[in-house]
Structure 1
């Protein structure tokens, strides 16, 4: 649980020997080599331009149809920017309904990208800013942080890459806007990295999942205030199984945290059956275990407190006000877990 994965990274771009050795300066050579690595390995933001008809994209956001777009991956030497024709399609049931600009899939199957880390990848998730205004960019950055926090806690977690993205809207005379977004590691890439396979069965229940990592994931979801997931319903959770047939338990891997209290998006509402007034109210949805078992896991979270809060305070792209709000929300959790009968009152009272 304390392994700190400073993960491998993909860089969406490609074609070897486009320029001769004589025409490239030494720094550009380093950049050109970097684009063959795993883009999820670096901590600095990637720079991308996406050019497409945004009006048509918004029109088709509920139609499950792809739209052609141009993706430009920017290197330090702008003369070596990589251009690719890709296809994009809106994703996310709730965000397609609530967002003026929902997150989307980037389909790279016919984009002629030769990066070896992307050879088995057809499409990649991009999380967008949903709507206009600074608050929406704040939501993106806070959701990105939720993924990074879980990276600290569990090796069985999706890696993410922060992206500064420029949109060129061909429907509005190539109008340019910029915002934060992030890419999510594809499921197949995650599975290969962990030497596991994705489980597609709809019959897996929470009783089939690994005891430790299901309980750990559930406490994490409680910490960030996320009640918008279900293992049995396969909602915002992927399941992985070891390639070793002697290991039968399944590992749950959570994703999509925009409805959690840590993000506190204005459009996020708690499930009607939970009886909550706000997503900032924590509600435990994990499996029932003994108080002693959960105490051990909570102790692990307490040991990780400094690393988690350091991650928040050191995230330079989030405003000081937002960092304070996030830290306050997390500190509330760390304070509550020290109270007597916390496990009985908060965890065992609603466990499944």
Structure 2
């Protein structure tokens, strides 16, 4: 029996949209650390304008995978200052299909700026900032912690902690959103529910002023199906929470005080601000659990929570 075309499309659409991605497969591994090997047969990437060939190897939830990819270094300040530079990984879509994954092909890879415990600790704090953001709102990029081995030619270069950030298109697909490129001229009324003050409050919490909605600095805009905006921040290395060594160096020039906490929401409604503060307090225990292995961050959360609790009481 031949099915009408519309019915045929209806039947196959769920299987297409429900197809898991490589990132989903990495996230499905329960272990805290996931081992990844990135091989560069012809040399490691050196410039953000030149993509080099690589092989990405991992044993994820669905089994072992070895996939070709193009890799280039990225970033602004980290690109200039860091020995280990963050990277963009661009997988071949045909290879993703061959391995049974959805065609979300571009991912950001974050690595320690330099070798040593101080820089590795800063990387872990940035990873945990994303995890706290995930706890506060689903409108945030997911991240996957990995143990990354870099191999250039036949020589193992180093093994370092790192994390992978979710693809922009994948986030939009997961949350049923559309990407928005225009960052100018928006008002508080253009944003969906409390997503704008929640994003601003999270940045306030981690003491980060290195973002901007009008310029798109370290922030992506998305739209709901009803055309309301949702802001989602990323790259938190210049926050007081992370305290990256190179950020402290920059702050000594007087251009940035990492300890400043400023709440930069567009929203004027005090009732909305109070609701966002209450939402944070409702997540306090979960946030403390996320950073439970890091005494300095536990103390940071507790001190901030006490400040917010005092503010809420004064508003009664």
TM over 0.5: yes
For residues 111-163 of structure 1, the C-alpha deviation after alignment (integer angstroms, 9 at most, x for no partner) is 612245432x2311111112111112112211111111111111111111111
Q: 1:221 to 1:312 in 2, by over 3 A?
A: same
Q: State the 1:43 CA deviation.
A: 4.4
Q: 1:113 to 1:39 in 2, by over 3 A?
A: same
| 1:108 lines up with 2:108 in the alignment | no
Match of 1:46 in 2: 34
| 1:132 lines up with 2:111 in the alignment | no
Structural RMSD (CA): 3.0
Match of 2:159 in 1: 178
Partners of 1:150 and 1:328 in 2: how far apart?
18
Give the count of matched residue pairs.
Answer: 293
Q: Could you list the runs of 5+ residues in structure 1 that have no partner in the other structure?
A: 1-7, 13-36, 314-319, 345-352
Partners of 1:160 and 1:38 in 2: how far apart?
12
8 A contact 2:26–2:61 mirrored in 1: no
Match for residue 336 of structure 1 among 307, 310, 313: 307
Match for residue 280 of structure 1 among 259, 273, 276: 259
Q: Residue 278 of structure 1: SS of its match in structure 2?
A: coil
Q: 1:310 to 1:9 in 2, by over 3 A?
A: farther
Q: Residue 108 of structure 2: SS of its match in structure 1?
A: strand
Q: 1:257 to 1:325 in 2, by over 3 A?
A: same
Partners of 1:83 and 1:293 in 2: how far apart?
48
Match for residue 173 of structure 2 among 172, 180, 192: 192
Match for residue 74 of structure 2 among 78, 91, 116: 91
Match of 2:184 in 1: 203
Q: 1:343 to 1:215 in 2, by over 3 A?
A: farther
8 A contact 2:180–2:221 mirrored in 1: yes
Partners of 1:249 and 1:110 in 2: how far apart?
31
Partners of 2:220 and 2:256 in 1: how far apart?
28
Q: State the 1:97 CA deviation.
A: 1.5
Match of 2:127 in 1: 144
> Which residues of 2 match residues 252-271 of structure 1 at below 5 A?
252-268=231-247
- Under a length normalisation based on structure 1, what TM-score does the superposition of the two structures give? 0.75
Match for residue 308 of structure 1 among 277, 284, 287: 287
Match of 2:15 in 1: none
Match for residue 206 of structure 2 among 213, 218, 224: 224
Q: Residue 238 of structure 2: SS of its match in structure 1?
A: coil
Q: 1:205 to 1:46 in 2, by over 3 A?
A: same
Q: Could you list the runs of 5+ residues in structure 2 that have no partner in the other structure?
A: 1-18
Q: Residue 337 of structure 1: SS of its match in structure 2?
A: helix
Q: Residue 325 of structure 1: SS of its match in structure 2?
A: helix
Match for residue 268 of structure 2 among 270, 283, 289: 289
